[in-house]
């Protein structure tokens, strides 16, 4: 990760599946790289964090609702006037698993959370590992994945609620043909066969969409030794003093 940060120098970084309690997060190394970090960690599972080169304010961990939930999957902060919400959406495992209805209910909580914590004037970025494809253009083989986890109709309808909330799937907006993936299964040789899915997304408010210069997926980052099965997704925004990335 640190080699990628040094090479790309993003202004804001959203991390998911950190799998470490807050006390064990490498804060010193991140500060040495030029970042301050806010975390919401969990031992061995889940975990999210936001790092930035400028101050992070109004930090919120979790949904703040009345639903009992010990899973660390959402953290939000404001950076340079942009509200950044970093998500690690439940995988769901399988359509017959009890994790599947949990995943669908989690999306309902997300929409309620955004409704309570943002407004139409909020410059908003909602991003992360959402574990859902928006449609068949996000799938290397729609027939093989038809109504399977990540590609089922209820999951896609849950994700679509973000668009009905007024948010723009900015990567798809800029790359309407699809056919570009952010995740490849470790099993087999799916990466080398380019058999992947796009399940990592940026959903942004219209005000942020108007400032967007680019949204790209760094497939080359997936090639390295011990690389994640996800590729980094980068959003570049116009700013008065240059471009900012998150």
Domain of residue 175, CATH code: 3.60.10.10
The boundaries of the domain holding residue 215 are 62-245
pLDDT in tens, 204-216: 999 999 999 999 9
Average pLDDT over the chain, rounded to an integer: 95
Residue 239's pLDDT band (cuts 50, 70, 90) = confident
Residue 154's pLDDT band (cuts 50, 70, 90) = very high
How far apart CA 127 and CA 236 sit, in angstroms, is: 13
| pTM for the structure as a whole | 0.96
**Cα 111–Cα 203–Cα 237 angle in degrees, nearest 5:** 140
Q: Looking at the annotation, which residues are catalytic?
A: 88, 129
Tally of structural domains, the chain: 1
Q: 78-92, 204-218, 229-243: which range is least confident on average?
A: 229-243
Q: What share of the chain is helix, strand, coil (3-state, %, to 5)?
A: 30, 30, 45
Tell me the pairing of strands 233-239 and 212-217. Answer: antiparallel
Rounded to 5 degrees, φ, ψ at 98 are -70, -10
**pLDDT exceeds cutoff 80 at 106:** yes
Q: Is residue 38 part of a domain?
A: no
How far apart CA 200 and CA 212 sit, in angstroms, is: 17
pLDDT in tens, 42-75: 999 999 999 999 999 999 999 999 999 999 999 9
Q: Is residue 238 part of a domain?
A: yes
Q: Is residue 240 part of a domain?
A: yes
**pLDDT exceeds cutoff 80 at 240:** no
* pLDDT for res 188: 78
How far apart CA 107 and CA 105 sit, in angstroms, is: 5
* CB atoms closer than 10 angstroms to residue 173: 13
Residue 147's pLDDT band (cuts 50, 70, 90) = very high
Question: Which spans in 37-180 are helix H?
Answer: 99-117, 142-145, 153-164, 170-174
Q: Is residue 226 part of a domain?
A: yes
Q: Is residue 207 part of a domain?
A: yes
Per-range mean pLDDT, top range of 17-26, 162-171, 182-191: 17-26
Tokens at 123, concatenated: 């410059």
Q: Is residue 134 part of a domain?
A: yes
Q: Is residue 25 part of a domain?
A: no
Q: Is residue 95 part of a domain?
A: yes
* pLDDT for res 226: 79
């Amino acid at each position: 990760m640190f080699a990628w940060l040094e090479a790309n120098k993003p202004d804001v970084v959203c991390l998911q599946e950190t799998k470490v309690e807050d006390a064990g997060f490498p804060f010193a190394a991140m500060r040495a790289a030029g970042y301050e970090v806010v975390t919401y960690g969990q031992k061995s599972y889940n975990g999210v964090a936001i790092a930035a080169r400028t101050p992070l304010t109004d930090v919120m961990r979790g949904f703040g609702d009345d639903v009992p939930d010990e899973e660390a999957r959402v953290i939000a902060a404001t950076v340079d006037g942009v509200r950044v919400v970093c998500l690690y959406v439940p995988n769901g495992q399988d359509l017959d698993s009890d994790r599947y209805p949990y995943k669908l209910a989690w999306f309902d909580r997300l929409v309620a959370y955004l409704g309570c914590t943002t407004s139409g004037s909020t410059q908003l970025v909602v991003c992360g590992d959402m574990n859902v494809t928006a449609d068949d253009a996000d799938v290397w083989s729609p027939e093989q994945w038809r109504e399977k986890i990540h590609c089922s109709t209820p999951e896609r309808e849950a994700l679509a609620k973000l668009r009905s909330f007024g948010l723009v799937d900015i990567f798809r907006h800029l790359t309407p043909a699809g056919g570009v993936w952010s995740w490849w299964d470790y099993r087999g040789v799916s990466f080398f066969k380019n058999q992947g899915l796009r399940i990592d997304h940026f959903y942004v408010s219209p005000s942020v969409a108007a400032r967007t210069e680019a949204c790209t997926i760094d497939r080359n980052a997936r090639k390295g030794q011990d690389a994640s099965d996800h590729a980094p997704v980068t959003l570049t925004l116009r700013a008065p003093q240059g471009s900012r990335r998150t």
